[in-house]
Structure 1
Amino acid sequence: MKQVVSILIFLLFLLLSASLFAQGKEKVWVVFSDKPSGYFDPVEYFDPHSVQRRVRQGLPLYDETDLPVSVDYIRRVEEVAGRVKNVSRWLNAVTVHAGRKEQQELSRLPFVASIEPVMHLTTSSLKAFPQEFPWSGKEGKLAKQQLALMEGEVFDSLGIDGRGVRIALFDAGFPGVDYHPLFAHIREEGRIVATHDFVKGTDDVFSGNVHGTMVLSCIAGMNSEWTLGLATGAEFLLARTEQWGEPFSEEVNWVCAMEWADRHGVDIINSSLGYTYHRYFPDEMNGRIAMVSRAATLAARKGILVVNAMGNAGASRWEILGAPADADSILSVGGVDPYTGRHMAFSSFGPSADGRLKPNVCAPARAAAAGRRKVKAAYGTSFSAPLVTGFAACVMQMHPEWNNMELLHAMERSGHLYPYYDYAHGYGIPQASYFSRKKEDRMTSFTILANEESLAVKIREIPPDSTEKIPSYLYYHIASPGGLLKKYAVIEVSDSIPLVISLKALNPDDFLRVYYRGQIRCLSAENSDL
């Protein structure tokens, strides 16, 4: 029956889209130039948890972006273009379906700053890989490995589970969360604080695509047999923003969900959404063009940590990250193989178009997650992001005095490669020992030899594979003085001198940075002093 209803909704959507197209109408943002002053009580409007977040971080209880949009402006837009579909306080904008004539008339209104198209994402780019694979019997090993890579046992030994932290998830549905055994501990303690379906306009999110259920399990899934995520004690806001099966998904729902989550007291937002080549171009992935990226940056200014997947376009023609992973001041997460720690081919690459480091960190992009009936292996950066979100919630519980940017930068420093970075791994996989001060000092594992012609890395001892949590690879990059990478690579170490670089290939002001087995060395091309 549900399938029949979904098909009917899908057909209705196609008919409506065709009708609007035939009329020459498109959905657009109408952005206003100002907001009227008036009464606004933040304590009345916001959830107490939202007020506490602002107070804790020394932020004002509200700013102009929190004020309501002018009712008079909305009325005058509707006189020109018909019913307003969505209203955004943060962007001071509304959406309507408008043809060219209506758009021209709207643009002439004295309070209209701009008319911008609503961007769309074809759902095929979201589902770049199968969401779940058949039961293999090896999921238990995978579940342990995805947490061990982040040293989840450290948090467990300290009794840290994200308690008191409120996390919002934006996804395509959460079927089964209302009865699945892996979420019983959350339901029984009443830790699903609020829900909303931005596709249908209801509060029932327990239908739709199972992807959201799988993502939630990588943050907090747990029963007597399995522990799939680190933040098993956190609170949750569940927002359905996408309807996979539609030909297009809109960024509008994501923006509206962001404002909804802020009002309901969110601390961390997890999103696996990415807008790429269907309306945007690579040089626009700078955090300032896409509405979702602008909204993500606004959320960061309000003390919210946004964690977004880099995307699964690494092996496609697009190749790079999408919006809002390009946003400034958010944590963008790349995907690695859980058994090697190396970049998985489908994980999108950085940097942002304006040269900022992306991804910031990485995590397993092959993970054990809750299927409809069993725990199954799933692929995609959609699962890297929630693993990092659970980690961040644990750190937030340990350090409630930190603001969101202090947390973000600490997460970066905890990366197992830090201060080495590249555009596939970022600073590496976050390590819990960084926050417990239990990180072990390692002996010098390599040296860099320099002569008049070349730089060479010499390994002191090659460990047997069985002694390492993941194989020991050598990472290196060549960077300009401003930090932009000219080259980076990962090398499997099989002999004592795995890397030799000719000085002719380097500019005098270039830097070589090398990571191997917890040790970092940096060398200038014109100076052999380490």
Structure 2
Amino acid sequence: MERNKRIVLLLTLFLSVNIFAQDRYWVVFSDKNNSPYSLQNPEQFLSSKSLQRRTEQNYPLDSTDLPINPQYLNLIKPYGQILFTSKWFNAACIVTDSLNAGQIAQIQKVDTVYRIFNAHVTQKKINKFTNITKTLDYGIAAKQIQMLKGDFLHQLGYLGNKTIAVIDAGFNNTDSIDVFGSLRSENRILSTYNAVLQNTDVYSFANHGTQVLSIITADIPGQMTGTAPKAKVHLLISEDMTGEQIIEEYYFVRTLEYADSAGVEVFNTSLGYTTFDDSTQNHTYNDLNGKTAINSIACSLAVQKGMLPVLSAGNSGANPWHFIGTPADAINSITVGAVDENEFHAPFSSYGPAADGRIKPEVCALGALATVANPDNSIGVGSGTSFSAPVICGLTACLWEAFPEKTNLEIREAIIKSAHLYNNPNDSMGYGIPDFKIAYQLLRNDIATQNTSQLLDFSFNNNQLEILLYYNDDNPLVFKIYDLSGKILWEKEITLLQKGELYFFNELINPLSSGVYVFSVNGNKKLSKKFIVVK
């Protein structure tokens, strides 16, 4: 049996090497005519989660949702091995040579054929993610959350209970290290997929995705807590670490279509592309218009299907390239730059605008010496927009959890409008550092136009009083707890409040004996009265 296993492993290795020793071409078909699939029966090719996401946000199905006509795929099968397909682009990636590619181009239902992987160019083995600088006993990653007022959402109980895809180079030891203990025990890793190898192996490659994921889902109180510690995740690989070729943008398309079918709501990628081992594939700045690079177009298509992309701006700010890469130029994405702990632009963070003049990046978060978990079970710091994007991604999930009835574009708009440079954006920080408390307030537009204060939420457990209110008074607020005879047992006056703002209060009071009590809030007038039952 062991000998048979070795033979299978050697055969798999041989086939993988053989595939990677050949060119790969992108074959675009002319249409989807006479397809056995129909938009009237979407359950045949879309998951219930994907359909639900579209329905909730009122995004219609269109022809890009239809799979490729199987008859068209059969036409090209004799000329090579089909690695994967894209229904969004009505195309297939095929392993073949230039002679067969020429034959494929003559097929009536084929529109375009071009090479996306050159097996004959020298592959430069690179490590794009050399970000970690040192390891330290840091404790909870408070700065990167509090800078954006993400703790406000956490205090309200919004911990990112949404479905997130992280698209990266690998997630080494994510299946074993401590910071992901609850992620694993609560079965919140929903799936894994490796688009490069066309299998589910993601835990044996690269440290980078592990570090990115930790910023979102780490959950060791007192050591490190992520921005969305209760998120459900799909872990996807589209980056080939053996070199840099434009086929990786096509692998990325494959992971997005996978994410769509899996019902993903928010996705994060720290991957970006500008130049390649084969210089004929290089992008120019003019390509960064959201409509040229296939991975950027795919991000925009994902938005039209109800997902929200959170993308790293890139680390070329101090390099000759200077600008963002792809897919950071995607239309209607949230592209994220980096700042330091003093909220200044980090020099390495790539600049905008997009080639068509759109503001890029949209927002910024802590990316210089951000707290990350490492595959060796240590907690350290790293620098790069790779680490500012997941800060935003996780908090975006928390905000959307608070307002599940909102669309992806409404969530995006609130985040952008909350940023401190919204009225004066620039090419280094975009609209600036978002404030998720303000974003929450913007989405609560039912209270933003009110001219009186309102008690929005109230709880009392184990002598802990938690209050969320909208303040729009001229007088200080007074909190009181009294018994049924009217005797005041606890009282607190809150001053120096700013009108038109949301406030969250957390108060620990002296223990109350068993009985029924009354809690009241007074401003210009009595705002609310709540009963407290202590057993």
TM-score computed with the length of structure 1 as normaliser: 0.74
2:360 is aligned to 358
Q: State the Cα deviation string for residues 148-186 of structure 1 (Å, max 9, x = none).
A: 1111221122111111x1000111111222222211222
Q: Is the 8 Å Cα contact of residues 417 and 439 (structure 2) preserved in structure 1?
A: no
Q: 1:421 to 1:29 in 2, by over 3 A?
A: same
Q: Is the 8 Å Cα contact of residues 228 and 369 (structure 1) preserved in structure 2?
A: no
Q: State the Cα deviation string for residues 435-465 of structure 1 (Å, max 9, x = none).
A: 3438999xxxxxxxxxxxxxxxxxxxxxxxx
1:386 is aligned to 390
Separation in 1, partners of 2:15, 2:318:
34
Q: 1:12 to 1:377 in 2, by over 3 A?
A: farther
Q: State the Cα deviation string for residues 10-69 of structure 1 (Å, max 9, x = none).
A: 99978765x54xxxxx42211111013323433354333222211110123x32112111
Q: 1:241 to 1:259 in 2, by over 3 A?
A: same
Q: Is the 8 Å Cα contact of residues 274 and 283 (structure 2) preserved in structure 1?
A: yes
Separation in 1, partners of 2:55, 2:123:
39
Q: Is the 8 Å Cα contact of residues 37 and 67 (structure 2) preserved in structure 1?
A: no
1:302 is aligned to 305
Q: Is the 8 Å Cα contact of residues 415 and 439 (structure 2) preserved in structure 1?
A: no
Which amino acid counterpart does residue 361 of structure 1 have in structure 2?
A: V
2:511 is aligned to none
- Secondary structure at the residue paired with 1:225? coil
2:227 is aligned to 230
- Secondary structure at the residue paired with 2:371? strand
Q: 1:247 to 1:330 in 2, by over 3 A?
A: closer
| 1:406 partnered with 2:403 | no
1:287 is aligned to 290
| 1:199 partnered with 2:196 | yes
What is the aligned counterpart of 2:420 among 409, 416, 422? 416
- Secondary structure at the residue paired with 2:257? helix
Separation in 1, partners of 2:14, 2:366:
37
Which amino acid counterpart does residue 347 of structure 1 have in structure 2?
A: S
- How far is 1:220 from its partner? 1.4
- How far is 1:395 from its partner? 1.0
Separation in 1, partners of 2:322, 2:125:
12
1:74 is aligned to 73
Separation in 2, partners of 1:126, 1:281:
21
1:187 is aligned to 184
Separation in 1, partners of 2:207, 2:173:
8
- Secondary structure at the residue paired with 1:389? helix
1:469 is aligned to none
- How far is 1:415 from its partner? 1.0
2:43 is aligned to 43
Separation in 2, partners of 1:268, 1:262:
10
Q: Is the 8 Å Cα contact of residues 125 and 241 (structure 2) preserved in structure 1?
A: no
Give 1:310-349 correspondences, 5 Å limit. Answer: 310-337=313-340, 339-349=341-351
Separation in 2, partners of 1:364, 1:153:
15
Separation in 2, partners of 1:393, 1:64:
29
Which amino acid counterpart does residue 153 of structure 2 have in structure 1?
A: F
Separation in 2, partners of 1:268, 1:129:
23
Q: Is the 8 Å Cα contact of residues 129 and 379 (structure 1) preserved in structure 2?
A: no
Give 1:426-505 correspondences, 5 Å limit. Answer: 426-437=430-441
- How far is 1:128 from its partner? 4.9
What is the aligned counterpart of 1:161 among 120, 137, 159? 159
- Secondary structure at the residue paired with 1:362? strand
Aligned residues between the structures: 425
- Secondary structure at the residue paired with 1:84? strand
Q: State the Cα deviation string for residues 180-238 of structure 1 (Å, max 9, x = none).
A: 22112222221111111222222232221111111011111111223342211111111
- Secondary structure at the residue paired with 1:74? helix
Q: Is the 8 Å Cα contact of residues 217 and 370 (structure 1) preserved in structure 2?
A: yes
- Secondary structure at the residue paired with 2:81? coil
Separation in 2, partners of 1:263, 1:55:
14
Q: State the Cα deviation string for residues 416-439 of structure 1 (Å, max 9, x = none).
A: 221221111011111122034389
Separation in 2, partners of 1:159, 1:405:
23
Q: 1:117 to 1:288 in 2, by over 3 A?
A: farther
Q: Is the 8 Å Cα contact of residues 196 and 240 (structure 1) preserved in structure 2?
A: yes
Give 1:45-64 correspondences, 5 Å limit. Answer: 45-60=45-60, 62-64=61-63
- Secondary structure at the residue paired with 1:76? helix
State the structure with more CA Rg: 2
- Secondary structure at the residue paired with 1:133? strand
Which amino acid counterpart does residue 265 of structure 1 have in structure 2?
A: G
Q: Is the 8 Å Cα contact of residues 126 and 273 (structure 1) preserved in structure 2?
A: no
What is the aligned counterpart of 2:24 among 19, 24, 27? 27
Q: 1:374 to 1:341 in 2, by over 3 A?
A: same
Separation in 2, partners of 1:374, 1:212:
15
Which amino acid counterpart does residue 410 of structure 1 have in structure 2?
A: A
Give % identity. 35
What is the aligned counterpart of 1:88 among 86, 89, 102? 86
- Secondary structure at the residue paired with 2:229? coil
Q: 1:410 to 1:403 in 2, by over 3 A?
A: same
- How far is 1:125 from its partner? 11
Per mean C-alpha deviation after superposition, the further-off stretch among 8-17 and 180-189 is 8-17
- How far is 1:374 from its partner? 0.7
Separation in 1, partners of 2:12, 2:77:
26
Q: Is the 8 Å Cα contact of residues 132 and 383 (structure 2) preserved in structure 1?
A: yes
2:135 is aligned to 135
Q: Is the 8 Å Cα contact of residues 147 and 228 (structure 1) preserved in structure 2?
A: no
Q: Is the 8 Å Cα contact of residues 32 and 92 (structure 1) preserved in structure 2?
A: yes
Q: 1:397 to 1:16 in 2, by over 3 A?
A: closer
- How far is 1:119 from its partner? 6.7
Which amino acid counterpart does residue 68 of structure 2 have in structure 1?
A: V
1:444 is aligned to none
Report the aligned-residue RMSD.
2.9
| 1:178 partnered with 2:182 | no
Q: Is the 8 Å Cα contact of residues 337 and 365 (structure 2) preserved in structure 1?
A: yes
- How far is 1:123 from its partner? 9.6
Q: 1:423 to 1:126 in 2, by over 3 A?
A: farther
Separation in 2, partners of 1:433, 1:356:
26
